[in-house]
Amino acid sequence: MREAAQDTSATSPTHEQLAMAHFRHPQAEREIVLGKAVVAYAVQRARRRSIGMVVGVEGLTVRAPRWVAWADIETALRAKERWICKKLSEQRERAHRQQAARIEWCEGVSVPFLGESVVVVLEPGLRTPILRDGHATQAGLPGVAQRALHIGLPHASPPEAIRDAVLAWMRQHARSHFSARVQHYAERLQVRVTRIALSSARTRWGSASVDGSIRLHWRLIHFSPTIIDYVVAHELAHLHEMNHSPRFWAVVRSVMPEYEHAREQLRHVILPE
């Protein structure tokens, strides 16, 4: 019995090993311990002069010259240990948040709209979607949808039909909401807006052109009015300053003194899928 116990302890992971974080790239070739993390990383050998590192959604990728030894790669990794672990943790946290934001498109699902949860209700025969207030007893309860979006679809509708109907309504509402906010800030900044268009760009929330046209990502409608106002003010400020100089940020601050808070929130938002 005693010998069996000794054998088990020798092969079982220690408490310290269990406490370590593990990050593994799908194409991992090598593994290294950095701080309190085990990092399995992919390696790309290329014609280059230095060792480069990229932390993406899949994990850590090292790009190194063909002539660099493994020992030199590991030395470079340890020199960037804190940065690598920080970025890997951020990517993992973002992936968890992205998974939590996934929407199961069915009746009763909650969808973020203007920073609040709206529950989807299927109401066959309804000609146009209607947003209705929830029950008074729900007011102020965290996590409880206080409004319901009634969609004229049969109860047996497939997820794709529900998704398309809800997002079409949101896109329409985005246009009217954005137009009102653009007009508000255009008057305050004394700029002339010639055109407002909705965008579906993957990497930009908005853009402005010297001719006065503004483009805003329609899915901003998921986020709070403060975040939307920040993007609107940001793009309209570009009609004064087509850059991100101190003068530009002074223009933004003139109409939104606490814009830094909204900008930081925008950096961490997750679009629901």
Measured CA to CA, the distance from residue 110 to residue 126 in angstroms comes to 20
* Domain at 110-267, CATH from 3.40.50.300, 3.30.2010.10, 3.40.50.150, 3.10.180.10: 3.30.2010.10
What is the per-residue pLDDT for 10? 45
Under a CB-based contact definition with an 8 Å cutoff, are residues 16 and 7 in contact?
no
What is the per-residue pLDDT for 7? 40
What phi, psi does 177 have (nearest 5°)?
-65, -45
Measured CA to CA, the distance from residue 57 to residue 88 in angstroms comes to 8
What is the per-residue pLDDT for 57? 84
Give, as one character, the DSSP assignment of residue 222: G
What is the per-residue pLDDT for 135? 53
What is the per-residue pLDDT for 176? 95
What is the per-residue pLDDT for 269? 85
Give the residue among 171, 162, 170, 168 at the shortest CA–CA distance from 103.
Answer: 162
Distances (CA, A) of 71 to 32, 42, 46, 67, 76: 11, 15, 17, 12, 9
* Positions in the chain whose pLDDT score sits under 70: 1-19, 134-145
Q: Which residues are CB-neighbours of 26 under 8 A, at least 6 positions away?
A: 42, 58, 59
Ordered by start, the domain boundaries in the chain are: 2-100, 110-267
What is the per-residue pLDDT for 91? 86
Q: Quote the radius of gyration of the chain (alpha carbons, Å).
A: 25
Distances (CA, A) of 149 to 18, 154, 155, 172, 208: 46, 14, 14, 14, 32
Residue 36 corresponds to which tokens in the numbers above? 């309190």
Residue 136 corresponds to which tokens in the numbers above? 């008074």
Amino acid at 247: R
Amino acid at 52: G
> b/e per residue, 69-105, with b = 16+ CB within 10 A?
eeeebeebbeebeeebbebbeebeeeeeeeeeeebeb
Q: pTM value?
A: 0.70
Measured CA to CA, the distance from residue 217 to residue 177 in angstroms comes to 12
Q: How many other C-beta atoms lie within 10 A of the C-beta of residue 171?
A: 14
Distances (CA, A) of 90 to 95, 111, 196: 9, 25, 35
What phi, psi does 31 have (nearest 5°)?
-135, 145
